[in-house]
Structure 1
């Protein structure tokens, strides 16, 4: 029996959970409407650092769910906040999109390849060999190395494409170094989520399609983990995983249906 009546705030992954590409996944809008009608709070928590919070808010709104940038927390934003907390005017060599660069600049971080304090690897859909070459040289030279998130693949409507985790592996092969990772399932993005939504652990749940990020986030935060099989994780992966979600549903539509049954 599904009993989530104690949950008053849902942290929601987006890619593979709410939508795939430019299409809402089955039951996503139904679940969002039902959660809001029940008085639940929502925070969209994504590891995808290629886009800004404004982009995601506009995308959700265009799909039929009115959202503002304040409703979104990205791994890119969490990374910028983390670096700012360490060194407010830090010099950063960023391997990322222009949207991520703009977000870093709003935090007062200085983007440069000249004597940076940090190298930051994001999900860079504008990646070039020159960027990789520069990053690897700086990392080999000992510059502090941070990655926004560990996701290996990003789901799209036409299949999976290499994400930040794949680039981490490439850079490790070249430099022998691994980064500090900020996004799900790590404590820095969890702390950022709790600062945005200060509920008790019992009141919060993480909904997502990935065991090693979304469900590991729930485990690390001590909150309820709800896995949906609409994205990367398939039923056969569950038996092989050391991470066990509290609940498993085919998609958000099934979760909405189960929640209605317990009302």
Structure 2
């Protein structure tokens, strides 16, 4: 079993990795994260850091990671906002959209060539914002009822804040769906579209790409559906009990990204695809869903 795992890992030429719960926790680097990114850069392995949060631009996220001691250039960050803009640019080049979201989404849509308008747009695009406007939501409902197609960047129903959870894209999308009877097309995880667009950006093939995540219900299932080598780390949302709830399993279950460092991997090996690993699993442990 171990030799099969090592063989699978050696065949991984490119990596996709989630951010919160995998590389950082509460804006602190998870041990081994900075070293793994450095290892990939030294080895010349293409990689992208992914997040479902559409609030921030890649430049913002690169600066956030740098403050944690992790150096990731902005062109190696892939957000649900970028994936959404890429998808829509392919669907309707030079199209129009009414957008609810922050700079991460509006910048991505502009750069994809979209016109922002509330006058008969082709799409209503809903993303993350901490200041959801009742007026904007009302406008979105009317535009969707008038024929605009409904798109959401991600399905996350809450996002964390120092004061507690906040309603996020999925919660507001449910409100709009209730008023319009229209379900959005959701681009972000667990839609494998998020990973496929990342693969396109890297020019990578799914058979030789690995995905590292901390959630069974988004990272692992979407990675499996996209045909990737899936690695679950136990520094975020999922733990052993969580793994047992699902009928599918990641290819590897590791305590943290530190186990992917060459020195650690050669001395310890990887755990089996059954999801079994050591009991002291949650070295970074999130207690609530973070912006991944």
The two structures share one fold, judged by TM-score above 0.5: yes
Q: CA RMSD in A?
A: 2.3
Q: 1:202 to 1:107 in 2, by over 3 A?
A: closer
Q: Is the 8 A contact 2:93 2:114 kept in 1?
A: yes
Q: Is the 8 A contact 2:58 2:104 kept in 1?
A: no
Q: Is the 8 A contact 1:205 1:225 kept in 2?
A: yes
Deviations 1:9-55 (A, max 9, x none): 11011122211342222332232233334443221122111111121
Q: 1:199 to 1:104 in 2, by over 3 A?
A: closer
Aligned to 1:202: 207
Q: 1:68 to 1:37 in 2, by over 3 A?
A: closer
Q: Among 223, 227, 230, which residue is 2:232 paired with?
A: 227
Task: Report 1:54-203 matches (<5 A).
Answer: 54-155=59-160, 160-203=165-208
Pick which of 35-44 and 66-75 moved more.
35-44
Q: Is the 8 A contact 1:151 1:213 kept in 2?
A: no
Aligned residues: 263
User: CA shift at 1:187, angstroms?
Assistant: 4.2
Counterpart secondary structure, 1:142? coil
The answer to whether the aligner puts 1:259 opposite 2:265 as a matched pair is yes
Counterpart secondary structure, 2:221? helix
TM-score by length of 1: 0.89
Q: Is the 8 A contact 1:7 1:40 kept in 2?
A: no
Gaps of 5+ in 1: none
Q: Distance in 2 between matches of 1:104 and 1:214?
A: 24
Q: Is the 8 A contact 1:21 1:156 kept in 2?
A: no
Q: 1:221 to 1:208 in 2, by over 3 A?
A: same
User: CA shift at 1:160, angstroms?
Assistant: 4.7
TM-score by length of 2: 0.81
Q: Distance in 2 between matches of 1:258 and 1:160?
A: 36
Q: 1:29 to 1:121 in 2, by over 3 A?
A: same
Deviations 1:133-166 (A, max 9, x none): 2222222333100111223333567765433222
Q: Distance in 2 between matches of 1:159 and 1:12?
A: 26
Q: Distance in 2 between matches of 1:39 and 1:101?
A: 32
User: CA shift at 1:121, angstroms?
Assistant: 0.8
Aligned to 1:27: 32
Q: Distance in 2 between matches of 1:61 and 1:242?
A: 37
Spell out structure 1 runs of 4+ moving beyond 6 A.
none
Pick which of 36-45 and 9-18 moved more.
36-45
User: CA shift at 1:215, angstroms?
Assistant: 0.9
Gaps of 5+ in 2: 271-292
User: CA shift at 1:118, angstroms?
Assistant: 0.3
